[in-house]
Structure 1
Amino acid sequence: MKKLVFAVVALLLVGVAVVRVVGIVATTADAYLYGYPLVIMDQTHQEMVREMGLGTNSFSHSLSLPGPEDRKVVRPNNDTLYSLAWLDLSETPQVVTVPAMEDRYYVIPFYDAWTNVFASVGTRTTGNDAGDYALVGPNWQGDEPEGLPVIKAPTNMVWIIGRIQINGTSDIPSIAALQQGFIITPLPRWLQGERAASGTVDREDASDEERLSVLEIVDAMDARTFFTALNHLMRDQAPAAVDEPLLGEIARLDIGPGLMFDPGVLTEFAMNEALTIVRNKLRAAMSEDRAGLSGWSIARDSIGVYGTDYLTRAFVALIGLGALTPEEAIYPLAEVDREGQGLAGSYRYRLHFEADQIPPADAFWSLTMYDELGFLVANPIDRYLLGDRDNMVYNPDGSLDIYLQHRNPGETAANWLPTPAGKFAVTLRLYLPGEAALNGNWNPPGIEKIGPAEGS
């Protein structure tokens, strides 16, 4: 009888241990999804400082469009040139000055350390006139300067990824002149009438030294490294008030602002297993079935402003850090045709828009070609995208056909977007999308396979 009792007790203890481990794994997964964007943001900052020499509280401008040789940023666009800045608001507010843009689309979004767009300046929100805007940190206690709009940031770290519409390489000199009007000045100096320098240019002229990408660096972190870094970052970049319920849960694992993370050997093993599981799930989400939208994946909800949608926030940090809000832009992505088959250069395709289904965008739209890794595709005509600013030929009824294939189609070459010989994907960008695109009444048509590649 005693042996039976001991056996039952042993089984119960094992059961309790299993339940505890399962609970640790689940909580660890929640904590990782929660903290992943903050760690990615910090690591991105470190790498940009190291590789590009970016300073703090000053702009760095791009003066060239990316090409196939640029392999640092996944799914780069040739629609806009970038102006980047990292702000540190812990000591003093900073005044961001923007120039007049006339009729050119632009946006200066402000991202907090958790990757949320908490405010933006630009065509949609403030118009195209010149202006000055004071960015203040969460703990700032000063008096608001008269006549100067004040934007309060949720965290002391702020990332600016400014975008200015560009209409081809010949437009670069015009953009360069506009970029010189972007200025960041400490508030006390601005109040005295001073203005800082406009910043550096040609940020692409960074070292070509082979380095791990930000994603690779974060993926290589074990639980101890990751959560120690997260605790340190949360001390300086305050979590939002809506995060308090989750913070209470993960605090049981010594994860939280300023806590000392020390899980112990057995718990650390379980946590490392949890990190592997959640990383695999994040990447699996990238290839989930998209047949419901004729092969397109379209994110319209919770992008840019995430609230407690920690999964979406982590996923966006993985595939497109610095995404704009849907009101500013949407990015339908297709890796399969309308039949759900993977896109490949061994076939020819057509994307047909009926006259009343041309992408509804108040600024502009474009379709960009990428290889299977998300980089631009080298081709004989150096064409990486097609859109409403290109001289495409519309059909007599107003409809539009875009041809996706590896070889030049001849008579329809004006509407040809070259593909690689292997697998590929396309992104359709709509800047200032119309209401139909935002509410789902408009979706892109499926990509139609029209035959094998010539010569195959």
Structure 2
Amino acid sequence: MASPAAPQSQVPYPVRALTPAHADLARSAGVPALLANEDYVEALARVVYYWGYPAVDGFGRTNMWEIMKEKPGTMLGLLPGAPMNTTGCLADYMSPSQRWVVTPNNDTIYGAGFANLAVEPAVVQTPTDAPQGHYWTIQIVDIFTNVIHQLGSASATPGGKFLLVGPDWKGEKPEGFLDVLRMPTNTAGVFPRSFAARTPEAKATAVAVLDQIGMYPLSKDRPGPHRIDCHAAARNAVYPPGVTAQMIAGDPDASRPQWVNPKTFWDDLEKMLAANPTVGPSDAAMAGQARTLIALRKTDPGYKALLDRAALAADAALHASSTYVQVGVDAGNSWQRQEGAGRWGTDWFSRAQATVIYIYVNDYREATYFIRGTDAKGSLLDGRHVYTMTFPKEALPPMDRTRGGFWSLTMYDKDYFMLPNPPNGRTNIGTVNLDANELRFAPDGALTLTLSREQPTNAEARANWLPAPEGQFALIVRAYVPTQQILDGAYKLPDVIREAKNGAP
């Protein structure tokens, strides 16, 4: 390595310690120590990349503040967006044609916003008039996507106002607030959701609840509830500079961001850490390591090249492992599950993988996610085949309906987005279809779902059909408000069986 460019007295000790004291011994005797130090730095850099990946991704998404700086609305006419410390919301399901958020659901109507708690605290409002048994939640995550607070029907959260504050806030609970919600980082993501069945009446109920929940700056608080108009927000379509509605309609990927660019990772990580100098206890030690590597990269051109290369290698490895075929552990019948989802602790690699395939997953106790990309024999799922999934009598996923629980099976293409124009209008199948009496049960009480690109000719299979795309696809079962059977692994989903013939069963 070249000698540090900055005077040694200005370089922090942890950075100086990464260069051997006598790397230039005669007859190259110092080379083994030099190589050992380089190996250590490279190994540490890869771990730091996995650790920091979710935070760089999330911090990049705060560009919402600039795009939506005037008022809440829809980014690109497709996604909820809002100014700083504010949430926006949709008035219907998220459009299947959007390409910003991987693996969204089509069971709930979304809200979203990001807070900068270094500027001021935010008010998080919960509904005072939600129907009994209606599912709603407000998921609040730190910059690393750790779920810090999960309010909602599942936890019987009362209606009213909460004060969301950053790590440096000091004060007492204001008059009229239910509680103070403390965050370990200045940047927080706040994501309301409200369950919506397929009918206009059910969607109206979902939006009426969503109109009562969300986030806004403390400086805008007034006595009484704050009214949030999701229909007005949904009509306010905003596009980034240089992007038009016609461009998005012609090519959904026209404005698809690369939230984490390995070529700029270290600079982006430095910006994130500058905005979030304090992090939670599970991330504090790695934050110190990250700052050391960032300083090392600035002081030594050789180490800069090594760190930049390590970021590229780590990014390639992360994406190679982050697929519905590989992520998680066995959950029975070839389904996989990340058992600590949302509550990551020091499981930084799983957290990074989740960021790639389904960022901002709920606390697993709020919603358990089962994923797969293969059939019962371990072959990749592909739309040219026909698959079935049979639930025996009274063996549907056990959810707590009294607290709003529901389940769904969602179809995604190889990039983990929904089908934009499914022939029967379904991007998922589950509780909403059961409640609408759309599905057909066999005489023995079993329910068989058919997954295929071509429409089945059999009437029962057609009623229970979830369309698949051309080529490779992936599946996710969401179990919202799961019972203990799901949480402890006693309940097993049925396997996905490829039919012997290429066609409808």
TM-score grouping bracket, smaller chain normalisation: 0.7 to 0.9
Q: Does 1:371 align with 2:420?
A: no
Q: Secondary structure at the match of 1:219?
A: coil
Deviation of 1:310 after TM superposition, in Å, equals: 1.5
Q: How does 1:185-196 map to 2 (within 5 A)?
A: 185-187=216-218, 190=221, 193=223, 196=226
Q: Find the aligned partners of 2:142 and 2:206 in 1 and give their Cα distance.
A: 26
Confirm whether residue 174 of structure 1 aligns to residue 205 of structure 2: yes
Instruction: Supply the distance in 1 between the matched residues of 2:115 and 2:496 (Cα, whole angstroms).
Output: 42
Matched AA of 1:275: A
Residue 243 (structure 1) shift = 3.5
Structure 1: unaligned runs, 5 residues or longer: 1-6
Q: Does structure 1 residue 418 correspond to structure 2 residue 418?
A: no
For residues 367 and 87 of structure 1, the distance between their equivalents in structure 2, rounded to whole angstroms, comes to: 32
Deviation at 1:115, TM superposition (A): 1.4
| Aligned partner (choices 397, 400, 403) of residue 447 of structure 2 | 400
Contact 1:138 1:155 in 2 (8 A): yes
What code does the residue aligned with 2:427 have? Y
After superposition, residues 198-277 of structure 1 pair within 5 angstroms as: 198=228, 201-202=233-234, 205-207=237-239, 208=245, 213-214=256-257, 216-235=258-277, 238-254=278-294, 262-277=298-313
Q: 1:436 aligns to what?
A: 485
- What CA distance in whole angstroms lies between the structure 1 residues aligned with 2:275 and 2:235? 27
Change (3 A) 1:50 1:434: same
- 1:51-450 to 2 correspondences below 5 Å: 52=75, 54-99=82-127, 100-102=129-131, 103-127=133-157, 129-146=158-175, 148=177, 149-168=179-198, 170=200, 171-182=202-213, 184-187=215-218, 190=221, 193=223, 196=226, 198=228, 201-202=233-234, 205-207=237-239, 208=245, 213-214=256-257, 216-235=258-277, 238-254=278-294, 262-287=298-323, 289=326, 292=330, 293-301=332-340, 303-362=341-400, 363-377=405-419, 378-390=421-433, 391-409=438-456, 410-412=458-460, 413-450=462-499
Deviations 1:376-434 (A, max 9, x none): 22332111111022121122332211011122223111111111232211111110111
Question: How big is the shift at 1:273?
Answer: 1.8
Task: Work out the percentage of aligned pairs sharing the same amino acid.
Answer: 26
CA contact (8 A) 2:297 2:303 kept: no
Q: Is the 8 A contact 1:83 1:163 kept in 2?
A: yes
Deviation at 1:173, TM superposition (A): 2.7
TM-score, normalised by the number of residues in structure 1 = 0.88
Aligned-partner Cα distance in 1 for 2:350–2:65: 24
Q: Is the 8 A contact 1:345 1:453 kept in 2?
A: no
Question: For residues 501 and 488 of structure 2, what CA distance do their matches in structure 1 show?
Answer: 36
Tell me the distance in 2 between the aligned counterparts of 1:122 and 1:399: 33
C-alpha distance 169-21 of structure 1, shift in aligned 2 (>3 A): farther
Give the structure 2 partner of residue 4 of structure 1: none
CA contact (8 A) 2:42 2:310 kept: yes
Q: Which deviations, in whole Å up to 9, do the C-alpha atoms of 1:126-185 show, x marking residues without a partner? A: 34x532212222222222235632211222222111110010152333333322222545
CA 335–93 in structure 1, closer or farther in 2 if over 3 Å, else same: same
RMSD: 2.8
Distance 2:291 2:97 in 1: 45
Alpha-carbon distance in 2 for matches of 1:370, 1:439: 27
Paired with 1:285 and 1:450, the residues of 2 have a C-alpha distance of 28
Check the 8 A contact 1:84/1:159 in 2, yes or no: yes
The structural deviation recorded for 1:306 is 1.7
Equivalenced residue count is 440
Contact kept in structure 2, 1:383 and 1:418, CA below 8 Å? yes
Aligned residue in 2 for 1:42: 59
Alpha carbons 1:104, 1:165 under 8 Å: kept: yes
Q: Distance in 2 between matches of 1:187 and 1:226?
A: 29
Return the alpha-carbon distance in structure 2 between the equivalents of residues 359 and 68 of structure 1.
25
So what's the TM-score if we normalise by structure 2?
Answer: 0.80
Q: Which residue of 2 aligns with 1:3?
A: none
**Partner Cα separation in structure 1 for residue 395 and residue 429 of structure 2:** 16
Deviation, structure 1 residue 189: 5.8
Deviation at 1:211, TM superposition (A): 5.1
- Which stretch of the first structure deviates more once superposed, 219-228 or 275-284? 219-228
Call closer, same or farther: CA 1:285–1:367 in 2, change over 3 Å.
same
CA distance in 1, matches of 2:180, 2:312: 43
Amino acid at match of 1:374: Y
Supply the AA of the counterpart residue of 1:270: L
2:479 counterpart SS class:
strand
- Kindly tell me: are residues 349 and 224 of structure 1, through their superposed partners in 2, closer, same or farther at Cα, counting changes over 3 Å? closer
SS of the residue aligned with 1:389? helix
Shift of 1:111: 1.0
1:166 partner letter: A
Q: Taking structure 1 as reference, are residues 71 and 277 closer, same or farther at Cα in structure 2, changes over 3 Å only?
A: same
> Aligned partner of 2:159: which letter?
A
Asked if 1:32 corresponds to 2:49, the answer is yes
Q: Is the 8 A contact 1:184 1:198 kept in 2?
A: no
Aligned-pair CA distance for 1:251: 4.5
Code of the aligned partner of 2:413? D
Structure 2: distance between partners of 1:101 and 1:69 = 30
